[in-house]
Amino acid sequence: MALPETWDTLQLQTHADGVLQVTLNRPDVGNAINTRMGQELLDLWLSLSDDAEGLRCVLLTGAGPKIFCAGGDLKERNGMTRAQWTHQHEIFERQYWALVDLPLPVIAVVNGHAYGGGLELALCCDFIYASSHARFALPEVTLGIMPGMGGTQNLPRALGERRAKELIMTGQSFTAEQALTWGLVNQVIAPEQLHNEALRTAQTLARNAPLSVRQIKKSIRYGGQMELRTAYRFELEAYNQLVDTEDRREGVLAFNEKRTPQFKGR
């Protein structure tokens, strides 16, 4: 499945070492997720899962200096029938699972506020790097609904049940520093340094053996949902699939020849 050349709500940019930057591009409405953006994200994740086309890592960020993603587009949702709302949410759900299952590592570069579905989108990613001025919230309870893209599942897994209940049931926002202290984000970085720091990490990941990175991601994500002995067996299955690869042989050979390995994803 080839990537489309043009997008209505996303901007795509390829960096060195096979890093793809995906920018949510609706800055006039806080990069809110409307039906079109949900569909384009779904198409993108499915395309990358089908054929990464040499890409090895994804950066996900928002357009503009202040907002990563404000969540669902409430202006579009205003006046929706139940059928329309349900249809839209089915697209959002499929997009969520396509991102969760994406074999490539994904770094959320939270350049500003991440509210509602925006925070849920970041929680689907493997790492979160946040601007020091970013704020986070799941405020759905103040709108008569609740998180519906993994928020009630991923936030407790990141912060613990009691903290997550407090945040989700009150709808209160919290700072990037609080998110770091609680273990939600990997790093809090000054706005002017955020993109470059995330890109450096992405390029480090991209230079490592891509098959190994994919198997590690799979082992951690799915193994974490199993009891320990079953998870260890799952890890061994993932490990054994790497033994006969060209990259494994290249890695060992390069070590012995004291040179940088050239991994090809084979």
| DSSP letters spanning the chain | -PPPS--SSEEEEEETTTEEEEEE--GGGTT-B-HHHHHHHHHHHHHHHH--TT--EEEEEESSSSEEE--B-HHHHTT--HHHHHHHHHHHHHHHHHHHT-SS-EEEEE-SEEETHHHHHHHTSSEEEEETT-EEE--GGGGT----SSHHHHHHHHH-HHHHHHHHHH---EEHHHHHHHTS-SEEE-HHHHHHHHHHHHHHHHHS-HHHHHHHHHHHHHHTTS-HHHHHHHHHHHHHTTTTSHHHHHHHHHHHTTS-------
Catalytic center residues: 120, 140
